[in-house]
Amino acid sequence: MTSPDEYPGLTIPAWMEVWRGMLFAQRSMLSELDKVQKRDFALTIPQFEALLTLWEAPGHRLRMSELSASLLYSSGSATKLLDRLVERNVVVRVSEPGDSRVVVIALTGPGEELIVAARAAHGEFLQQRFAALIDDDELAVMLRVTQRLADDRGVRSTPSSGFSR
C-alpha cells in the first residue's frame, strides 16, 4: 500500500483518494444523468438500468430472479421498480411456459422504443462527460482495473451489446 508521503499533496493514502474520487465523481455524474433521463424520458436511473438490462438480454426478456440479480436488487425492490414500468406499459410480466411459478419480464414495443432512445442519449452524455476526460493511454489501465474490481465482486461490467468509444 502507498502512503500519503509518496504522493505530494495527499493527506490520505493514494488508494483511498482513488476510491473517493471514483465514488464522488460517479455520484455527481449520476445525479446529472438522472436529471437528463427524467427530463427527456421520464426515467430514473434504476428504471433505465432495468430497461437496458432487458434490452441486452436474449429476446429482450429475463426471469424476474435474473433481472433482480443483474441489477443487484432484492426481489422486493425489483418488484416495486418493475411495477412502475408495467404501469407505463414498457415491460410486461408473463409466466414461463411450462412453469407458471416463474415470472418473466419482457420489454414491450413501447419499451423497446424508449430504451433505444434513452440508450442513445445516455451514450452521448457519457461520451461528452466521461469518455472525453480519459486519454487513450489511461483507458487500457482503467479498463483492467474496473474489470478486476467487477470480477472480484462477481458482477458483470461489460454489456452484451457494448458501446464503442
C-alpha cell at 104: 418473466
**How far is it, in rounded angstroms, from Cα 158 to Cα 156?**
6
pLDDT confidence of residue 110: 97
Question: All domains of the chain, ordered by start, with CATH?
Answer: 43-133 (1.10.10.10)
pLDDT tens digit at each of 165 positions of the chain: 555 567 778 888 888 998 999 999 999 999 999 999 999 999 999 999 999 999 999 999 999 999 999 899 998 999 999 999 999 999 999 988 888 888 999 999 999 999 999 999 999 999 999 999 999 999 999 999 989 988 898 887 666 543 333
What residues are paired with 105 via a beta bridge?
A: 62, 93
Distance between CA atoms of residues 106 and 90, nearest Å: 9
- pTM, two decimal places: 0.84
pLDDT confidence of residue 162: 39
pLDDT of residue 4: 58
For residue 156, what are the CA distances in angstroms to 15, 20, 38, 39, 113? 23, 22, 25, 28, 25
